[in-house]
Each structure stands twice: as structure tokens, then as C-alpha cells.
Amino acid sequence: MSALKVGVLAVQGAFAEHCAIVRKLGAEAAEIRAVSDLEGIDALILPGGESTVQGKLLKELGLFSPLKNMIAQGLPVYGTCAGMILLAAEIENDSRRHFAVMDISVRRNAYGRQLGSTLIRGSFADMEDVPMPFIRAPYIYKTGTGVEILSRRQGFTTAVRQGKMLATAFHPEMTCDLRVHQYFLEMI
Ligand code: GLN
């Protein structure tokens, strides 16, 4: 069997780190910058960065509608931080909406703009002691019925799964711990 091919949106933000982890886990990583890059991908990662910039570039590059359709048709997707904002149906403090495919409501920059960036260790699904860098992170304040909560911090939800969609407010790609990406690859 050929290796899984994971597309990583590479228009802005921390895409290189995701590609490195995907390759460490034995899958192929394909940087996505154009519609032609979508050919043959088995899954998609939406990295952290700035959701407003990413949302704008997705539209300018013609990637928005093809990706939204692929996700709606069941392409497994993992959004970290800004990527989670792109997936959220509701953004409390922003009038913009992006893919809006996950039944979650998020608040951008929920822990403050800079001082809210921190590294903690916490549990994720059935894993303990997972390193979790939060960088101007959102949190999830509301989840729909089909959404499974995988992690919480200070009373707010920070990681969720809905069917083949995974989202974390934190950045496992900034650490050496491969377990969250391994969890995603197992979803595929
Ligand atoms: N604050 C960013 C946003 O709202 C997300 C930050 C991140 O991805 N690290 O898009």
C-alpha cells in the first residue's frame, strides 16, 4: 500500500512543522498552495497562523470552495489554532466565517494577545502529559451534540473531534511529541 498523503495548507503560518511531523510518522506531506496540489490527498491539515490572512488567501488562490467541498464530502481534516477558527461554524468576536463545517463556537485570542501564550501539559483523549503550546490561542465555548471533547484547559474546551474532523487550540507541531498527529493519522 502506498503511504498516506496528507495535504498541509501552506499559504501562511506553521505549515513546515506539520509537514515534518507527518513525514516522521511515515506519511507523505504535500504543501497546498494551488488547486492542482489537491490531487490525491487523503487528508488535510490547516496550520496555525492568522485565520483572517489564511481565509483571504484561500479565496484569492481559488482553494476555498474546492476544499470546503472536499471536507463536506468527508476528507479528514485537522485544524490547529487558526486552522480551528477556519473550521468553526461560529466565531464569537469576528464577523468573518470561513469553512464553518464544525459545530463549535470559538473565541479568537481568548487568552489575551501575547501574555496568553504559554506551554502547559495536559491530557488529550486517552493520553496524559501531552505538551500543549498555546499561542494567541482561541478556545471553544460551545460544542454541538456530535462533537467529542478531547481536552480542556481552565474550564474551556481546547480540543474536539467531530466525525473525521479534529481541531486543537494548541500547537502539537511545535513540540517533539507526535501523539496528536498519530491520533489524526489513525482517524484517516
Ligand atoms: N490568533 C490567531 C487567529 O485568530 C490564531 C493564532 C495561532 O494560530 N497561533 O487567527
Q: How many CB atoms lie under 10 A from the CB of residue 73?
A: 7
pLDDT at 2: 76
Q: What is the pLDDT along the chain (188 residues), one digit of tens a residue?
A: 579 999 999 999 999 999 999 999 999 999 999 999 999 999 999 999 999 999 999 999 999 999 999 999 999 999 999 999 999 999 999 999 999 999 999 999 998 766 668 999 999 999 999 999 999 999 999 999 999 999 999 899 999 999 999 999 999 999 999 999 999 999 99
Q: How far is CA 122 from CA 117, 130, 170, 171, in A?
A: 15, 5, 11, 13
Q: How many CB atoms lie under 10 A from the CB of residue 129?
A: 10
- Side chain identity, residue 16: A
pLDDT at 113: 66
What residues are annotated to the active site?
A: 81, 171, 173
Q: How many angstroms is it from 1 CA to the middle of ligand 1?
A: 36
Q: How many angstroms is it from 96 CA to the middle of ligand 1?
A: 14
Site to substitute for ligand 1 among 9, 18, 81, 174, most atoms within 8 A of C-beta: 81
Could you tell me if the CB of 153 is within 6 A of ligand 1? no
